[in-house]
Amino acid sequence: LWVMVLGLVLHLLATWKDVNFASGFAFLITLYGAVIWLWGWPVARAAAFPVAFMAFGVPMGRVLVDMFAQPMQLFSAQLGGGFSQAIGVSTKIEGTKIRLPEYTFEVAVACSGLKTIISMSALGALYAWLVEAALYKRVVLFLASFPVAVLANAARIATTLVLGHIFGQKAAEGFFHTASGVIVFMYALIGLFAVGGLLRCTRMRDDI
């Protein structure tokens, strides 16, 4: 019962302070308290991950953008520009802008990789929960989703720069730029599965 009360108090405080996203977490706490209250701890332990996983659905995008978007833009520009330099593309990195002889590419908020990190952390958590492996391997697999997402986004930027260098600005920022959101997701999934392979997390659990 005290878990439900804690969730309701958090919801009231969030409403009072007009912090909407906190109400989402308050709902999950209250829901989990209701599970314990109605079905007891054995069911609550089994439901712990599914309820916690719902936290990825709490709309925190604006909060995360305000906190991390600019540092992520700068870091992604450095990393993506560095990748392109390593394969022989002449680039000059100035803040969030990457200058090529042909055109200038700017790493906007949408290209910062923040959304990729959010989505990949959710997939990393699900993947780590589904595989048959020791707890430490699951933790490593989940944590790996963050650098994998950052590297995948940098690879997307580098690919855009290479296309712009070879075929011009229209080729880089046309269809490829529109479709690159799917491409970066594919890069990240391949990277996450590669980490799982290195950790030998190749078998799915049969107890769920």
3-state secondary structure of 81: helix
Q: Which residue from 59, 58, 47, 7 is spatially nearest to 129, judged by alpha carbons?
A: 47
Task: Kindly list the distances between the CA atom of residue 7 and the CA atoms of 14, 26, 28, 56, 117, in Å, as whole numbers in the listed order.
Answer: 10, 4, 8, 17, 27
Each residue's pLDDT tens digit, 150-201: 999 888 888 888 887 777 777 667 666 667 778 788 888 899 999 999 999 8
pTM given for the model: 0.83
**According to the model, what pLDDT value does residue 36 have?**
96
Each residue's pLDDT tens digit, 11-69: 999 999 888 889 999 999 999 999 999 999 999 999 999 999 999 998 876 777 777 88
**According to the model, what pLDDT value does residue 187 have?**
84
Q: Which residue from 71, 78, 90, 64 is spatially nearest to 154, judged by alpha carbons?
A: 78
**According to the model, what pLDDT value does residue 86 have?**
87
Q: Name, in order, each residue with C-beta under 8 angstroms of 142's C-beta and a sequence gap of 6 or more.
A: 121, 124, 125, 127, 128
3-state secondary structure of 106: strand
